Structures are given as structure tokens and as C-alpha cells.
């Protein structure tokens, strides 16, 4: 997308976010009449995800050429995911222990968690099994992305070993990737209208401004705690961007369209096409973009991990349960691993919450305290999730020259 058009679209998206919030605040439930426009835009983005992921991962890994590079790139990527997710959980635990948002909360809200409790019986074997699908078509139909990503990585690795025989297939995926990115550019011209409708309708569904204020008042300290933690973690990611990736404010500006779209859609997967486009326009190597961002959109959930650590201790404080240091270490480990490993499980966000609560014996009914504002906080943590993926791609870009030198004959 030409630079001038990108700036104009960014301004239009900012206006759409503000206008959607104001209209939903003032007119409340009446704005649900435009909800279908938001769903149409969201469905359009989701329509692009599967072919884009397969094409991007296959072409990205194949472009490495030397298969030995894949191991080093994988190690850097997974190391980044683990480190930043653990950092996010640590920030969440520190902030919630300092602010203590659950003290004095009036109990009474209850959640229907029976179905979630059954899904929350997830072990290491379940997470590993979710990586491999016996039916890729079924996984695609269910938008279960991890098996597709793993298959795409293995397929591209195999293609690079076939020499001239594999070149036409790699060429096909390269062409498909270019075509998908062109479609992303076309779709983004409808982004302002779609984002406006999504935000206005969701605030309208909450009952408008007065009803939303009432919801915030009930668990306002919890909202403040989560937003504070997300703000601190965002600042730490910017520090990593500047120190490790050696990039500055220009990269943040280039990613704004993706970040605002993440806020509007509350879906890192739906934002994936735009995240890749913005990172490419920011000058990140295509190999880093095509490898890190699709994988990160499913397993690198910094914002989600931080939120679940905050939520677990909030529930403990609300019920008057004093979690020892050892129990908080369990929350740390569980939230970190669940946020990374359980992305392929249906209803992953709530399921991982159940896993964390069960690990330290907290009442699952406590989830009911959070549901009234969860939709609001979801937008912020999704934005942080997308930002973490973008920074990860920039970090890998920084190390690619060294990897090339190490694998050169």
C-alpha cells in the first residue's frame, strides 16, 4: 500500500474507533443495528486467514534455502515467545499484588462453568496432541491453526530438499502469498466502516455508556490493574524493540493500523493479514514476517497470559483466599504454559483461565465476577498480543544476518 494511502487509512481507522465508541456510548442498544457490518468485515478477514497462513509459512520457510536455518530460527522464535510470555505473567502478578483489586469486592455474580470445567481438564499430552491433526480439512473448518502451521512448516522443509522438483510448488505458494497480500490491501479499505460497526455494536450490546459505567464501577480496580499491567508490558516490549531489534518510533507508527484493527476486532487471528502487511511495510524481512507472525497469532499470547495471572489473584482476593508464594509460582508456570500451549483448544481463553484456577484450587464461579468487563479488556489484551508478534518478527529480523553467516558453507 502506498505510504500516502496508508496514512489516510490510519487516520480513517482512528476516526472510526473514536466515532464507534461515541455512538455506542450515546445510542446504546440502537447501535446493534450496524452489527452485521462489523461481522461482514470480520468474516472477510477470517476468510483470508487459512490460505494466507499456508502460503506465507510455506514460502517463508522455503525462502530460507538451507534447512539448517530453520532450527536456529525456531529456537530464537520459541525463546522469544517463552521469555515475553513469562515476562507478561510476572508483570501481572506484581501489579495485582501491589494494587490488590479484589479486596472489598462484593460477591454474588456467578458463571455457568460446567462445560468449561470439563474442557479445563487439559494436560501436557492434550496440548501436544493439539499440534497434530488427523484431518487437516476438519482443522481448517474449525479454524484450528496450529496443526496447519506445523504441516506447512514440514511441507516447506520437505520441498527445500527436492531441488528442481520442488521449485514449481514453492513458486505456486509464493504467487499465492502475493495474491493474498493484495486481497488484504483491498479488504483494508473497508476497515474503518467495519471497525466502527464492531465497536459501536459491542458497546451497544453492553447497554450504552451508563450501563458500561455501572459495569466498570463494580470491578473498576480489576480493570485498572489489568490496564496498568498491559501498559507496563507494552513499554517493556518497546524497550526490547529498541535494544534488541534496534528499531524506534517509526516501527510503532507503521504497526498502528494493525493495532487499531486488533482493538476493533478483538481477534489476533482476524488481524493476522494486516499484521503481516504492516510488518512488511515497516521493512521487516519477509522470512521473519511469514514465520513469526502466523505462529505468534496462535501461541504468543502476552496480553492473555498477563490477564489470566491478574484474574486468578483478583478472584483469590475477592474470596479472601491468601495465595502463598508457592501458589503464585504455580500461577506463573500455569499461565505461561497455558497461554502458549492451549491455543489450539476450543474456547482457549476461558479454558486456560479454568486451567490456572484449578491449578491453585480457586473457585471457578469467580469467573462470573469478570464476565461483565471481559469483552472490554479483551480488546486491550488482543492489541498487546498483536504487538508482541510484531516485535518478535522485528527481533528475528535482527538475527537473520548472523544465522545466514553461521549456515554458509
Q: What is the mean pLDDT of the chain?
A: 84
Residue 373 lies in a domain: yes
pLDDT of residue 206: 82
* pLDDT bucket at 344, cuts 50 / 70 / 90: very low
List the single range of 20-34, 114-128, 250-264, 384-398 with lowest mean pLDDT: 114-128
Region class of 382: left (phi > 0), else alpha (psi between -120 and 50), else beta: alpha
pLDDT of residue 181: 87
Q: Which residue has the cell 455474580?
A: 109
CA distance 89 to 120: 20
Residue 96 lies in a domain: yes
Residue 385 lies in a domain: yes
Domain that holds residue 103: 3-64+77-407
Residue 35 lies in a domain: yes
CA distance 36 to 196: 11
Mind listing the pLDDT tens digit for each residue in 269-302? 889 999 999 999 999 998 899 989 998 888 888 9
| Number of structural domains in the chain | 1
CATH number of the domain residue 84 falls in = 1.10.3860.10
Mind listing the pLDDT tens digit for each residue in 132-171? 888 888 888 877 788 888 899 889 888 888 888 888 999 9
What's the grid cell of residue 348?
A: 482457549
CA-based nearest residue to 157, from 59, 79, 76: 59
CA distance 298 to 391: 15
Residue 70 lies in a domain: no
State the sign of the Cα–Cα–Cα–Cα dihedral 324, 330, 333, 334. Answer: negative
Residue 71 lies in a domain: no
Mind listing the pLDDT tens digit for each residue in 293-334? 998 888 888 998 899 899 899 988 888 888 888 888 888 888
* pLDDT bucket at 346, cuts 50 / 70 / 90: very low
C-alpha distance across the termini of the chain, in Å: 38
The mean pLDDT of 24-35, rounded to a whole number, is 91
What's the grid cell of residue 129?
A: 496432541
Burial (CB < 10 A; 0-12, 13-18, 19+), residue 116, is middle
pLDDT of residue 147: 85
Q: Is the pLDDT of residue 257 over 70?
A: yes
Q: Is the pLDDT of residue 115 over 80?
A: no
3-state per-residue secondary structure call for the chain: CCHHHHHHHHHHHHHHHHHHHHHHHHHHHHHHHHHHHHHHHHHHHHHHHHHHHHHHHHHHHHCCCCCHHHHHHHHHHHHHHHHHHHHHHHHHHHHHHHHCCCCCCCCCCCCCCHHHHHHCCCCHHHHHHCCCCCCHHHHHHCCCHHHHHHHHHHHHHHHCCCHHHCHHHHHHHHHHHHHHHHHHHHHHHHHHHHHHHHHHHHHHHCCHHHHHHHHHHHCHHHHHHHHHHHHHHHHHHHHHHHHCCCCCHHHHHHCHHHHHHHHHHCCHHHHHHHHHHHHHHCCCCHHHHHHHHHHHHHHCCHHHHHHHHHHHHHHHHHCCCCCCHHHHHHHHHHHHHHHHHCCCCCCHHHHHHHHHHHHCCCCHHHHHHCHHHHHHHHHHHHHHHHHHHHHHHHHHHHHHHHHHHHHCC
What's the grid cell of residue 190?
A: 473497508
Residues 263, 35: contact at Cβ < 8 Å? no
The mean pLDDT of 368-374, rounded to a whole number, is 81
What's the grid cell of residue 255?
A: 504497526
Mind listing the pLDDT tens digit for each residue in 162-200? 888 888 999 999 999 899 988 988 888 888 999 999 999
pLDDT of residue 279: 94
Amino acid at each position: 500500500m502506498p505510504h500516502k494511502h496508508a496514512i489516510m487509512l490510519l487516520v480513517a481507522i482512528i476516526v472510526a474507533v473514536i466515532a464507534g465508541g461515541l455512538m455506542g456510548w450515546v445510542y446504546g442498544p440502537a447501535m446493534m443495528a450496524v452489527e452485521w457490518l462489523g461481522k461482514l468485515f470480520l468474516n472477510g478477514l477470517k476468510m483470508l486467514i487459512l490460505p494466507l497462513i499456508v502460503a506465507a509459512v510455506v514460502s517463508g520457510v522455503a525462502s530460507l534455502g538451507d534447512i539448517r536455518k530453520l532450527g536456529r530460527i525456531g529456537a530464537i522464535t520459541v525463546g522469544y515467545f517463552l521469555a515475553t510470555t513469562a515476562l507478561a505473567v510476572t508483570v501481572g502478578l506484581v501489579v495485582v499484588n501491589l494494587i490488590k483489586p479484589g479486596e472489598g469486592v462484593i460477591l454474588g455474580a456467578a458463571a455457568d462453568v460446567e462445560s468449561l470445567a470439563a474442557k479445563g481438564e487439559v494436560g501436557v499430552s492434550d496440548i501436544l496432541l493439539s499440534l497434530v491433526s488427523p484431518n487437516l480439512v476438519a482443522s481448517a473448518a474449525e479454524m484450528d491453526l496450529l496443526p496447519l502451521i506445523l504441516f506447512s512448516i514440514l511441507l516447506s522443509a520437505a520441498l527445500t530438499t527436492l531441488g528442481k522438483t520442488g521449485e514449481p510448488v514453492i513458486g505456486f505458494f509464493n504467487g499465492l502469498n502475493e495474491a493474498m497480500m493484495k486481497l488484504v490491501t483491498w479488504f483494508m479499505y473497508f476497515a474503518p466502516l467495519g471497525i466502527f460497526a464492531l465497536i459501536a455494536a459491542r458497546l451497544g450490546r453492553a447497554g450504552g455508556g451508563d450501563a458500561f459505567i455501572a459495569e466498570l464501577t463494580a470491578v473498576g480496580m480489576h480493570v485498572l490493574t489489568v490496564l496498568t499491567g498491559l501498559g507496563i508490558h507494552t513499554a517493556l516490549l518497546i524497550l526490547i524493540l529498541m535494544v534488541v531489534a534496534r528499531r524506534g518510533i517509526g516501527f510503532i507508527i507503521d504497526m498502528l493500523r494493525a493495532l487499531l484493527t486488533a482493538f476493533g476486532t478483538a481477534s489476533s487471528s482476524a488481524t493476522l493479514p494486516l499484521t503481516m502487511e504492516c510488518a512488511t511495510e515497516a521493512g521487516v524481512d519477509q522470512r521473519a514476517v511469514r514465520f513469526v507472525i502466523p505462529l505468534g497469532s496462535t501461541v504468543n499470547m502476552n496480553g492473555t497470559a498477563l490477564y489470566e495471572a491478574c484474574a486468578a489473584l483478583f478472584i483469590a482476593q475477592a474470596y479472601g483466599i491468601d495465595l502463598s508464594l508457592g501458589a503464585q509460582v504455580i500461577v506463573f508456570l500455569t499461565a505461561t504454559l497455558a497461554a502458549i500451549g492451549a491455543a489450539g483448544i476450543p474456547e482457549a481463553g476461558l479454558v486456560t483461565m479454568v486451567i490456572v484456577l484449578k491449578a491453585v484450587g480457586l473457585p471457578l464461579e469467580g469467573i462470573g465476577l469478570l464476565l461483565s468487563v471481559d469483552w472490554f479488556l479483551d480488546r486491550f489484551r488482543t492489541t498487546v498480543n498483536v504487538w508482541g508478534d510484531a516485535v518478535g518478527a522485528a527481533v528475528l529480523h535482527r538475527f537473520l544476518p548472523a544465522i545466514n553467516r553461521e549456515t554458509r558453507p
